[in-house]
């Protein structure tokens, strides 16, 4: 029963974002989304550390907002994973390997020093499984930077917005990562609240 519900939830999210893929990137460049994205990107950049010349795994790449940013920050190559083929088709040309798959169980066949997941974890039915699978792809001491909506007034408004589209997204706080990260083989190194409603965290591979 749980497996069936998880499959239904994954299919609903995939269908929704696949339908949004064509103009998803262009809409993210308009106000107020662009303003929020700029603040979030600054927090993500501060926690990623040195990216230049390094390979990065991105879980939940979407239309490539952070894929583009990572290349702009000097990443050598980005493995961009997403569950939506139309989203992956929106990725720019360049040093990118697009991978159609579920972040909870995708197998990339190698490990990485830096990983990122921005705007994905709230949509998955089992976020712990994503952390566990990311740990399987992590080099010793690797960093995983995650951007999620936090439990706040605007976070609850964001959740209501998505509920209208048929999903019950999850909101996060520091305490959730303090509990979940060690179970998955990570330690929580930093957690930064980002206006208007996000939380950016850095995990280190144990």
Please give the pLDDT value at position 20: 65
4: pLDDT strictly greater than 60? no
Please give the pLDDT value at position 26: 59
Average pLDDT rounded to a whole number, residues 101-110: 97
Angle (nearest 5°) at CA 180 between 38 and 141 = 70
Whole-structure pTM over 0.85, yes or no? Answer: yes
The DSSP 8-state label assigned to residue 124 in this structure reads -
- Kindly report, residue by residue over 43-97, the tens digit of the pLDDT: 999 999 999 999 999 999 999 999 999 999 999 999 999 999 999 999 999 999 9
For the chain, give every domain's residue range.
Answer: 2-205
Please give the pLDDT value at position 60: 97
Please give the pLDDT value at position 56: 98
User: Strand 138-149 relative to strand 198-205: parallel, antiparallel, unpaired?
Assistant: antiparallel
Mean pLDDT across the chain: 89
Listed in sequence order, the residues at least 6 apart from 55 whose beta carbon sits closer than 8 Å to its beta carbon are 75, 76, 77, 78, 79, 112, 113, 114
* Domain 2-205 CATH superfamily: Vaccinia Virus protein VP39 (3.40.50.150)
Q: Which two tokens stand for residue 151?
A: 């439990």
> For the ranges 4-13, 26-35, 38-47, 138-147, which has the lowest average pLDDT?
4-13
Q: What's the pLDDT band for 161 if we cut at 50, 70, 90?
A: confident
Q: What's the pLDDT band for 164 if we cut at 50, 70, 90?
A: confident
Please give the pLDDT value at position 165: 77
């Amino acid at each position: 029963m749980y497996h069936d519900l998880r499959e239904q939830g994954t299919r609903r999210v995939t269908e929704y974002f696949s339908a949004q893929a064509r103009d998803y990137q262009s809409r993210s460049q308009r106000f107020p989304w662009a303003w929020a994205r700029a603040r979030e990107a600054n927090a993500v950049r501060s926690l990623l550390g040195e990216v230049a010349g390094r390979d990065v795994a991105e879980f939940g790449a979407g239309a490539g907002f952070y894929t583009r940013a990572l290349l702009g920050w000097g990443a050598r190559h980005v493995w961009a994973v997403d569950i939506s083929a139309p989203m992956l088709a929106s990725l720019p040309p360049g040093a990118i390997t697009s991978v159609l798959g579920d972040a909870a169980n995708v197998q990339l066949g190698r490990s990485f020093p830096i990983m990122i997941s921005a705007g994905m974890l709230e949509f998955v039915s089992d976020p712990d499984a994503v952390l566990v699978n990311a740990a399987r792809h992590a080099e010793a001491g690797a960093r995983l930077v995650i951007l999620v909506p936090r439990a706040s007034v605007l976070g609850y408004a964001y959740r209501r917005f998505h509920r209208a589209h048929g999903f019950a997204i999850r909101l996060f706080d520091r305490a959730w990562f303090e509990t979940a990260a060690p179970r998955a083989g990570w330690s929580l190194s930093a957690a930064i609240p980002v206006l208007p409603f996000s939380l950016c965290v850095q995990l280190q591979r144990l």
